[in-house]
Structures are given as structure tokens and as C-alpha cells.
Chain A
Amino acid sequence: MTPKLQNAGIDAWLVRFSERIDPAVQPWINAFCQDCRAAFGKLLVDLVPSYTTVLVQYDPGQLDDTGARRMIERVIERMAPDGSMGSGRLVEIPVWYDPSVGPELERIAARNDWTPQQVADAHAACEYQVFALGFVPGFAFMGMVSPRLAMPRLATPRQKVPRGSIAIAERQTSAYPQQTPGGWNLVGRTPVVLFDAERIPMTTLEPGDRVRFTPISRDTFIKLGGDTSPVEEVPQ
């Protein structure tokens, strides 16, 4: 693994591990982030891991770009991918798959000549990796969904995607931590609180985690505090 460093201003380097999305890169990114935190200590301002890269932001008052580059190169030389494939924790997210909260179950089903139930089963059958958090606090970009479930974003985004919505865009999947406008295809809803600033840790998911979606019934969803209000319809 020989990542490339790219300039990202007076106080940041972008470390590129691969040109394409590749789940095999994830353990290296996890290891790099951990080692970087240890190596930089207080000089580290922020670390932003994404699918194939990590943005390393440091204190420019204490380090110049050459010094920071040398520290990053030293971390890279010594790092080893952390543990077995997939690395991180396995997190289970209970999901109520139903057309009332996941209207695009039908859209995806129609394309495959499937029933909505088959779409739900296929989505719950795989283990996913959290590649990055972004968009809104706690929104986890996960992949890769089966090519048969892959679906382009909606032509007209919804003004309000309800909190907890489970969604698909191309070969990515996610769960909306809060109500927000959004254009992903909705297939279900989770009662899990994905972000809470008062909680430690604040996010249910973190980059490097593995995720499995577990189908639950409407009753269980309600019992776990889920909100059954319907989804805004959008013309497509």
C-alpha cells in the first residue's frame, strides 16, 4: 500500500489510498487514521476519512507542510491493516421494510420483476461497510449494495425525508439521522437514533464499522420508538 499525498492548503494533506472504491482499502484507512491520531497528537486538528482518501488537517502554527508530510509518510511506512477483513465493529440496525415508509421498494422491485419483500430481503442479506460520514451529522455512506438494488437518485429530491429513513443511491446505502431534504431511494425506516450530540459516542456508526440491517415488524418498530408517519410523495 503506497498512498499518494496531495496538497490541500497550508494546513492539510489529502492522502489517497486508491483511485477507485475498493472495500479492501478500508482496513488500511482505519489503521492510518488510528496511527495518525497517535503520531500527531495535539497537532492534529481534524481527520476526514472517505471512500479512498483521508484528509489530514494539522496546526499550521506548529508544523509546516514539509514537516507534516514527513510525519504522514512515517505513519504510512509503519502501518499495517488493522485485524481481519472489514476490521471494525459489526453494528445491527433494525429496519421496518414497508412501502409506507419505503416507497421506492416498489420502484426497485418493478425493475427486477421482484416483490417489495424480495427487495427488502436482498437489502438485509448483505453486510455493508461504513466508508465515510457526511452530508448531515451522522449520515453514513455505506456500500456496496447489490447491483440489482442499485438505483439512481430521484429526479426530484424530497423536501422532507423523515428521520430514520433507510435509503439507496446507486450502490450506496444509508440511514437519515435527521429530517432533511434528500434524493435517495427510500426502502424502510429504523427506530435507531443515529446521531445525538448529548451522547457518547454521538454517532451510532463510524467509518470502518460493518453494518447489517435486520428486518423487524411494524409492531417491533413502534415498540422501539419508531415514527410511522408516511413519506411525502414526489412525482418521478
Chain B
Amino acid sequence: MSLAAALRVEKAGPLALLQDGGRFGVRHLGITQGGPMDWHAAGWANALLGNDPGAAVLEVAIGGLALVAEAELTLSLCGADLSASVNGQQLRPWQRFTLQAGDRLAFGMPRCGIRAYLGACGGWRGVPALGSVACVGREGFGGHKGGGRPLDDGDQLQPEARSQPLHLFSCVPPEYQPDYGQPAELGVIPGGQTAFFDGASLYEAFNAPWQVDTRADRMGIRLTGPELVCHHPGMVSEGLAAGAIQVPPDGQPICLMNDRQTIGGYPRLGTLTPLARARLAQCQTGETVRLQATATERARREYLGAQKAIGSFQGQ
């Protein structure tokens, strides 16, 4: 069987991981979800190539990655502007592009957002574990070479399908490109132990500015700001949904993301909406965000609307 043309990793950078839609149906065994932190950008990267929204993309966090094409390859880039370039020529995100054999694709300093998604025809080839190639190092699952291992210098990335002529549009329409330069307003659906927070804390939670802390990774993103006080008589660990906002005794919230622990024992203020999770995944350390209480039905409508836009484009 002849393999599709590959991309060689010249310089692996700090954090580039293969991610598909995530690992599901295994949370009761203590296994985390994985998947792209910014599902919205990852979905568009796939749509530009006619892939399923959950096909495997390369999540490039912060930059420092350099790749060389070994043959002609059609790829897509969505999400953060990480000063990407092809042979030194600037490459803007939210578009499809073609590399010729020997072309060098490099990622530099983050300009806007921090996570970029590199899509390939049919998705990138990975080693599935429990039905997903999502790379989770802590658990040793998934990735382009299995075992949850990240990219190494000299590795090869293989698209699942050969490049073929694609539909009309090679760019994500501007109205669907989020501007990560705008202040982030994150929708939160109140729930969990909301009622146990004191009044002043609830006011602060939804009115004060919050800073994205340095303690931020694929498990969770900590926010710093006013101290939130919760009077809960004694929490017992319970299942954590994606986007759950836990408040430990220091009063500083932690937004739980894709690689979160499956259960946790701190009081919860509520749950970030899916769009808020995608937006927070693009926030840099020190950036100011605000939390906005929102209703479940509205958040669901917005999520399905965003998915529909991605899906209808993919179908063209």
C-alpha cells in the first residue's frame, strides 16, 4: 500500500499534539476526554479540507515548530496566529494552502491566540487507543506514534488521504473567524454549588475582571482575581463536565478543560459554554477575561449554530 505524502518534523517545538474529537464512553473508568482545546478552530481546519469535524488535527500550542513537506501536500491552518510562514513567507490562519516538496512550514511567536490547528486531508494518521487518536501524555494514549507521545524531531506526520482537488472556498469566511484580540467574554451556565457561594462572591465572579494565570494547561486554566468564598459543608468528589469551573479554598477559579481529571471535590460555580471553552483556549497568560452568566438553551443554540456553520461549509 502506498502511503500518502508526509510532513517531516524538523523541530518539534514545545507542545504540538495530535488531537481528534476525543475519547468518549470511558470516563467511568477514570479516562479523560482529550481532543482539541479549541474545537471551533479545529472544526474549521477540517471543514476546509472536506473532513469530518472530528478528524485528527495537529494542535500547535505557542509555536516553535518547524515542518518540511516531503511531497506536494494540501493542508489547512486555523486558530491562533503563531507567525506561521512557508519558506519565510507569512502564512495567515483560516485558510487552505499547498506545500511543494521541500517547502518549510514554521511557527514562531504567538501574535494573536495561542493554539493553531494544522489540518490534513482525511486527518493526520495516528495510533488509536480506546477509539481515539487524541494524544494524552499523562495517560499514555494516542498520538501520531502511540503511547501518548508528543512530536519529536525527525518524526513523520502522514495524512490519512491523498490530496485531491477541493471545493470552491479556500478561506473561512471572515464572519466566522473569531478575533482573539478582542476582550474575551466567557459564557457560564450557573450550576453545581452556585448557591453556596456568598452574595459578594457571586457578584464579583460575574462582574470583576479575571486574569489568565500562568498555571494553565490542557487539564485546566486558572483565573486570578477577587477571592471567591464558598460555604459548602463538605464536598464529595463528583464527575466533572468539560468547562466546569472549580473553586478551591484559595478562592481562585480553575476552568477544567479537555484533559481534566474525571472527578473532583471542589465546589463548582458553573460550567463554561462550549464557545467559551474554545475562546479561553486561545487566551494568553495575563489576558483579562470576564465571566457572563448565560442560559443553557441559549448556549446550546449558539453551539449548534457554530457547528452548523462549520458543517454546511464542509459539505460544499
Contact = CB atoms under 8 A, between A and B. Distances in A.
Interface of A: 6-12, 14, 16, 20-21, 33, 45-55, 57, 60-61, 64-65, 132-139, 141, 195, 197, 202-203, 206-207
B237 A134 contact: yes
B309 interface: no
Nearest to A60: B300
B303 A10 contact: yes
A225 to B, nearest CB: 20
10 contacts: A8-B192, A10-B303, A11-B241, A14-B238, A16-B238, A46-B27, A61-B304, A65-B296, A197-B129, A202-B26
Most buried by B among A9, A50, A64, A141: A9
B30 A50 contact: no
B20 to A, nearest CB: 15
Interface of B: 24-31, 129-130, 138-139, 141, 189-192, 234, 236-244, 261-263, 270-274, 296-297, 299-300, 303-304, 307
B28 A47 contact: yes
B189 A10 contact: yes
A8 B303 contact: no
Given A7-B190, A48-B262, A202-B29, A55 B238 contact: yes
Ordered nearest first, which 5 A-B pairs have the shortest CB separation?
A55-B239, A48-B239, A7-B191, A9-B271, A133-B30
A46 B25 contact: yes
Contacts of B236: 20-21, 50-53
A45 B274 contact: no
B304 A45 contact: no
A139 B189 contact: no
B303 A60 contact: yes
A57 B22 CA distance: 14
Contacts of A50: 236-239, 263
A236 to B, nearest CB: 22
B27 A48 contact: yes
A12 B24 contact: no
Given A8-B192, A61-B304, A197-B130, A135 B238 contact: no
A133 B262 CA distance: 8
Name, among B31, B191, B303, B307, the residue most crowded by chain A CB atoms within 10 Å (CB to CB).
Answer: B31
A87 to B, nearest CB: 15
A49 B29 contact: no
B139 A48 contact: no
A46 B297 contact: no
B196 to A, nearest CB: 12
Nearest to B271: A9
Contacts of A11: 241, 300
Contacts of B270: 7
A53 to B, nearest CB: 4
A134 B25 contact: no
A138 B274 contact: no
Given A51-B237, A55-B27, A141-B237, 5 more contacts: A8-B192, A9-B296, A12-B271, A33-B28, A60-B300
Nearest to B277: A9
A144 to B, nearest CB: 12
Nearest to A141: B237
Contacts of A48: 27-28, 238-240, 262-263
Contacts of A53: 236, 238-239
Nearest to A202: B29
Contacts of A132: 237, 263
A118 to B, nearest CB: 30
Given A14-B238, A132-B237, A8 B244 contact: yes
A207 B238 CA distance: 13
A108 to B, nearest CB: 23
B241 A8 contact: yes
B300 A65 contact: yes
Contacts of A133: 28-30, 262
Contacts of B299: 9-10
A65 B244 CA distance: 17
Nearest to B187: A10
A133 B239 CA distance: 10
Contacts of A136: 30, 138-139
Contact of A10 (B139, B234, B296): B296
A33 B307 CA distance: 29
Contacts of A45: 24-25
B14 to A, nearest CB: 22
A227 to B, nearest CB: 18
